[in-house]
A and B are shown apart, each in its own frame.
Chain A
Amino acid sequence: MIKIEGVSKYYKGMDRPAVSKLDLEIKEGEICVFVGPSGCGKTTTMKMINRIIEPTNGIISIDGKNILEFDADELRLGIGYVIQKVGLFPHYTVFENIAVVPKLKGWKEDKVMSRVRELLDVVDLDPDENMYKYPNQLSGGQKQRVGVARAMAANPSVMLMDEPFGAVDPITRNQLQNEFLALQKKVKMTICFVTHDIDEAIKMGDKIAIMNNGKLVQYDTPENILFSPINEFVEEFVGSDRALKVLNLLRVSSIMEAYMPTIRYGSDSSQINEFYNNSNFAIVLNDDNKLQGYIDINRIVEKKNVEKWCDYIRTYDICLGIDSTLKDAMVAMLENDMKTIPVLDDEKKYIGVVNFDMIKSHVGREYETTIE
Chain B
Amino acid sequence: MSTLKYFIKNIDKITDLTMEHIELISLAMCFALIIWISIGILIRNHNKLANGLLGVASIIMSIPSISIYGILVTIPGFGLSRLSAVFALVLYAMLPIMRNVYLALNEVDESIIEAARGMGMKKNQILWKIQLPLAFPIIFAGVRVALVMMVGIATLAVYIGERNLGRLIQQGITRTHMDMVLTGGLLVAILAIVVDGVMALIQKKLISPGLHLDS
**Interface residues of A, Cβ cutoff 8 Å to B:** 50, 52, 73-79, 81, 83-93, 100-101, 104, 134-137, 150-151, 160
Question: Which residues of chain B (125-156) have a CB below 8 Å from chain A?
Answer: 125, 130, 133-134
Are the C-beta atoms of A73 and B134 separated by less than 8 Å?
Answer: no
**In this assembly, does B43 line the interface, its C-beta being within 8 Å of a C-beta of chain A?**
no
On whether A100 and B119 interact (CB within 8 A), knowing A87-B112, A90-B134, A134-B208, the answer reads yes
Q: How far is the CA of A73 from the CA of B121 in the complex (A)?
A: 6
**Closest residue to B212 on the A side, CB-wise?**
A136
Partner of B215 from the list A50, A85, A134 (CB cut-off 8 Å) is A134
Beta-carbon contact of B117 and A84 below 8 Å: no
Which residues 181-215 of B have a CB within 8 angstroms of A?
208-211, 213, 215
- Taking A73-B122, A85-B109 as given, write out 6 further A-B residue pairs in contact, using a Cβ cutoff of 8 Å, ordered by the A residue number: A73-B120, A76-B120, A83-B111, A89-B112, A91-B134, A92-B210
Contacts of A88 in B (CB 8 A): 112, 115
Taking a contact as CB atoms closer than 8 A, the residue among A76, A77, A91 that contacts B208 in the complex is A91
- What is the bound-complex CA distance between A87 and B115, given in angstroms? 6
Q: Which of B111, B121, B130, B210 contacts A134 (CB 8 A)?
A: B210
Residue numbers in A under 8 Å from B120 (CB-CB): 73-79, 101, 104
Contact of B114 among A78, A83, A90, A151 (CB under 8 A): A83
Contact residues in B for A78 (Cβ distance below 8 Å): 120
- Bound CA span A75–B117, Å: 11
Most buried by B among A76, A91, A135: A91
- Nearest-CB residue, chain B, relative to A72: B120
> When chains A and B are docked, how far (Å) is the Cα of A223 from the Cα of B121?
40
What DSSP secondary structure best describes chain B's contact surface? helix
Question: Does B116 belong to the interface (CB within 8 Å)?
Answer: yes
Tell me if A76 and B119 are in contact (CB < 8 A): yes
Q: Can you list, as one digit per residue, whether each of B94-129 has a CB less than 8 Å from chain A (1) or not (0)? A: 000000000000000101101111111110010000
A111 to B203, CA, bound (A): 33
* B122 and chain A: residue at smallest CB distance: A73
Question: B119 and A77: CB pair below 8 A?
Answer: yes
Give the nearest-CB partner of B211 in chain A: A91
Question: A73-B121, A101-B120, A104-B120 are contacts. A87–B114 as well, Cβ < 8 Å?
Answer: yes
* A90 touching B210 in the complex, CB below 8 Å, given contacts A83-B111, A84-B111, A85-B111: yes
A329 to B211, CA, bound (A): 42
A83 CB contact (under 8 Å) in B118, B211, B215: B118
Return chain A residues, CB-CB under 8 Å to B125.
Answer: 104
Q: Are A136 and B213 in contact (CB under 8 A)?
A: yes
A262 → chain B closest CB, angstroms: 49
Q: Can you list 23 A-B contacts with CB-CB less than 8 angstroms, sorted by A residue number? A: A73-B120, A74-B120, A78-B120, A79-B118, A81-B118, A81-B119, A83-B111, A83-B114, A89-B134, A90-B210, A90-B211, A91-B208, A93-B210, A100-B116, A100-B119, A101-B119, A104-B120, A104-B125, A134-B208, A134-B210, A135-B210, A137-B215, A160-B118
Which single residue of chain B is at the shortest CB-CB distance from A90?
A: B210
A222, B163: Cα distance in complex, Å: 82
Instruction: Report the bound CA distance from A137 to B115 in whole Å.
Output: 20
Quick one: closest B residue to A153, CB to CB?
B119
Whole-angstrom CA separation of A75 from B118 in the bound complex: 9
* Minimum distance in angstroms from A191 CB to a CB of chain B: 15
Query: Which of chain B's residues have a CB closer than 8 A to the CB of A79?
Result: 118, 120
Task: Name the CB-closest residue of B to A77.
Answer: B120
CB distance from B135 to the nearest CB of A (A): 10
- Smallest CB-CB separation from B207: which chain A residue? A91
User: Is there an interface contact between B208 and A50, defined as CB atoms closer than 8 Å?
Assistant: no
**Assuming A91-B134, A91-B210, A134-B209, is B118 touching A76 (CB within 8 A)?**
yes
- The answer to whether A76 and B211 touch (CB under 8 A), given A84-B111, A89-B112, is no
Residues of chain B with a CB closer than 8 A to A91's CB = 133-134, 208, 210-211
CB A219 to nearest CB in B, in angstroms, measures 24
Q: How far is the CB of A319 from chain B (nearest CB, A)?
A: 36
State A80–B144 Cα separation when bound (angstroms): 40
In the complex, the chain A residue whose C-beta lies closest to that of B137 is A91
CA distance in complex: A89, B112 (Å): 6
